[in-house]
Chains A and B, each alone.
Chain A
Amino acid sequence: MKYKGKAHKFGDNINTDDIIPAKYLNIHDAVELGKFCMEHVDKNFAKKVKKGDIIVGGKNFGCGSSREHAPIAIKGCGVSCVIAETFARIFYRNAINIGLPVVTSSEAAKGVKEGNAVEVDTHKGVIKNISKKKEYKTEAYPPFLEKIIKKGGLLNAIKR
């Protein structure tokens, strides 16, 4: 799969309270949650983000709580893919489980700047920075996870 959009840069340790503050956890609709995505870090994020855009984070992206509302809010506001140097483990599995592609690349996390046009090819494991005409490598998903992603999420994968 390929995902193409404008990059929105964030720093290290973006936690789940940053992604979706707990006061909104009495909501579970994706589009509604998306309206408050990243509110504590960038008040205008949900307004300026366009469908297909890509979040680029630093180290330990998604640390903190197990709230699936975090990847749901990111997906809900239109983001197509998240690139980070590293991901916190529960966020990573939640994203995979709901079918939000997340890829690790320290080169891309450092090289991509705010507003760059970026294309992520999860099958080839390549991230293209179209604006800067550069390419970064990312790991291909292990077969176990690829199966979940191909089926469109964990529950589709376990359904007989």
Chain B
Amino acid sequence: MGYTITEKILRAHITKKSINPGDFINAKVDFCLGNDITAPIAINEFRRTGAKKVFDKTRIALIPDHFTPAKDLRSANQAKMLCEFAKEHKIEHYYEVGRMGVEHALLPELGLVLPGNLVVGADSHTCTYGALGCFSTGVGSTDLAAAFIKGECWFKVPETIKFVYHGKLKKWVSGKDLILYTIGQIGVDGALNKAMEFTGEAIKALPMDDRFSICNMAIEAGGKNGIIEPDKATVSYVNAAIRKNKPKRKGFKLYKSDKDANYADVKEFDASKIEPQVSFPHLPSNAKPVTKAKNINIDQVVIGSCTNGRISDLEIAAKILKGRKAKQGVRLIIIPATQAIYLEAVKLGFAKTFIDAGGVFSTPSCGPCLGGHLGILAEGERAIATTNRNFVGRMGHPKSEVYLASPAVAAASAIRGRIAHPKEVV
């Protein structure tokens, strides 16, 4: 019996030769990360054990991205803990404000997470990097502390569900729409503890930014990891990142699932029939075609986050907003995910387009996605956002509402002041 890509990568990181779903394993970690919310607890736990040294100062990233630039005193103190720990242990990949970006956009951009790697992050959206053909998953702070010490993490080997997307996508349909649609089909626990392997003609035709959006939201279906077999697009993305940022660790390995690999389930979709999606409050699984969202007025639009804050996300938003204005009374908040994306958006004129449209163009931060700062919703307010969660109170008051969508739908909605299909405005 063959192996899936997930099983092959896990097998390459343990001493045993064979691997089966359900096995408990201690696997070697190629790279681990924490942020200003999760790393402080990991640092305290690390110190509590009396550990003196991290396993490898070149394989840890500390990224203060959630409540930064520090939104209040307590957040400042937490960010300071990262800075001090990084200094004390000479952590190579510490990114201060001004250099940091939203972690899951930043690390692939810098070439620090590579195909075939095993990555753990104390952040649930660590599953994003699976788009590069690596095994990458979210863990907790104590797991991160253990990884700091041992360079290892425990796992229960997951079964894999294969998601096959046939056909060509319609205009205005993106990776975000595919994943919202998929979560709508299987539910928020539809892939609980499972590996989600995304494949098919429609996936192979997608640019990397869209693939990151898809793998990013695997956790929203309960998935352990999202993964896409690496291909030419992956290799050219990774090579460009390595050329530009010259990481010390350059070697990577391309894994593919065997033809006779074992899957817990195979779900096939005709992607050519999928419309732009909107997930209604208060679960990502409440996905509907945008045309079903009739007369839903909005107070705020957020374009950004680890799901959709990349350059192609800003590009499509700019294309729709160019020469148009956000409707009076609508707050349009655009947050590039990294400094490099910010600069590129300035160079390409997107920043001007957003400001001309009456929007704000902010410094990178997770910000409003988790109700941190830079756009908190008041009681009774409603937002459409390119983020990943629309739970009760996620972006602010427990009586506010978040609708999830792609950057194209979010930008069109800003112009109309209600949830709108991009074709209505372009």
Find out whether the CB atom of A144 lies under 8 angstroms from the CB atom of B394: no
A1 within 8 A of B: no
If A89-B222, A158-B146 touch, whether A21 touches B140 (CB-CB below 8 Å) is: no
Give A46 Cβ to nearest chain B Cβ, in Å.
15
A44 within 8 A of B: no
A31 within 8 A of B: no
Find out whether the CB atom of A28 lies under 8 angstroms from the CB atom of B40: yes
Give B165 Cβ to nearest chain A Cβ, in Å.
24
Flag B139-177 by CB within 8 Å of A: 1 or 0 each: 111110110011000100000000000000000000000
Give A40 Cβ to nearest chain B Cβ, in Å.
5
Stretch at the interface among A12-20, A49-57, A119-127, A131-139: A12-20
Select one of A23, A28, A68, A94 contacting B78, CB under 8 A: A28
Flag B354-382 by CB within 8 Å of A: 1 or 0 each: 00000000000000001110000000000
Find out whether the CB atom of B141 lies under 8 angstroms from the CB atom of A64: no
If A21-B371, A93-B140, A158-B150 touch, whether A86 touches B38 (CB-CB below 8 Å) is: no
Q: How large is the interface on B (under 10, 10 to 19, 20 to 34, 35 or more residues)?
A: 35 or more
B263 within 8 A of A: no
Give B141 Cβ to nearest chain A Cβ, in Å.
4
Find out whether the CB atom of A26 lies under 8 angstroms from the CB atom of B78: yes
A145 CA to B154 CA in the complex, in Å? Answer: 10
A15 contact set on B, CB distance < 8 A? 389, 391
Name the residue of chain B whose CB is nearest to the CB of A70: B140
A72 contact set on B, CB distance < 8 A? 41
A21 contact set on B, CB distance < 8 A? 371, 393
Find out whether the CB atom of A68 lies under 8 angstroms from the CB atom of B193: no
Select one of B124, B142, B189, B391 contacting A153, CB under 8 A: B142
B252 within 8 A of A: no
A27 contact set on B, CB distance < 8 A? 74
Find out whether the CB atom of B146 lies under 8 angstroms from the CB atom of A66: no
B78 contact set on A, CB distance < 8 A? 26, 28
Give B188 Cβ to nearest chain A Cβ, in Å.
6
- Which residues in window 273-321 of B have CB below 8 A to A? 283
Name the residue of chain A whose CB is nearest to the CB of B46: A155
Find out whether the CB atom of B391 lies under 8 angstroms from the CB atom of A64: yes
- Which residues in window 29-86 of B have CB below 8 A to A? 37-38, 40-41, 44-45, 48-49, 66-67, 72, 74-75, 77-78
B207 within 8 A of A: no
Give A93 Cβ to nearest chain B Cβ, in Å.
6
If A64-B389, A89-B224 touch, whether A28 touches B44 (CB-CB below 8 Å) is: yes
Name the residue of chain B whose CB is nearest to the CB of A85: B189
Find out whether the CB atom of A63 lies under 8 angstroms from the CB atom of B393: no
Give A49 Cβ to nearest chain B Cβ, in Å.
19
If A28-B44, A28-B78 touch, whether A68 touches B141 (CB-CB below 8 Å) is: yes
The CB with the most chain B CB atoms within 10 A, among A13, A59, A90, is that of: A90
If A28-B44, A40-B398, A158-B150 touch, whether A93 touches B38 (CB-CB below 8 Å) is: no
A155 CA to B147 CA in the complex, in Å? Answer: 10
Find out whether the CB atom of B138 lies under 8 angstroms from the CB atom of A17: no
A128 within 8 A of B: no
Find out whether the CB atom of B38 lies under 8 angstroms from the CB atom of A67: yes
> Which 10 residue pairs spanning A and B have beta carbons closest together?
A26-B74, A94-B140, A144-B24, A97-B142, A60-B189, A22-B370, A66-B124, A68-B140, A68-B141, A66-B138
Given A72-B41, A90-B124, 5 more contacts at CB 8 Å?
A: A17-B371, A27-B74, A66-B138, A88-B189, A89-B193
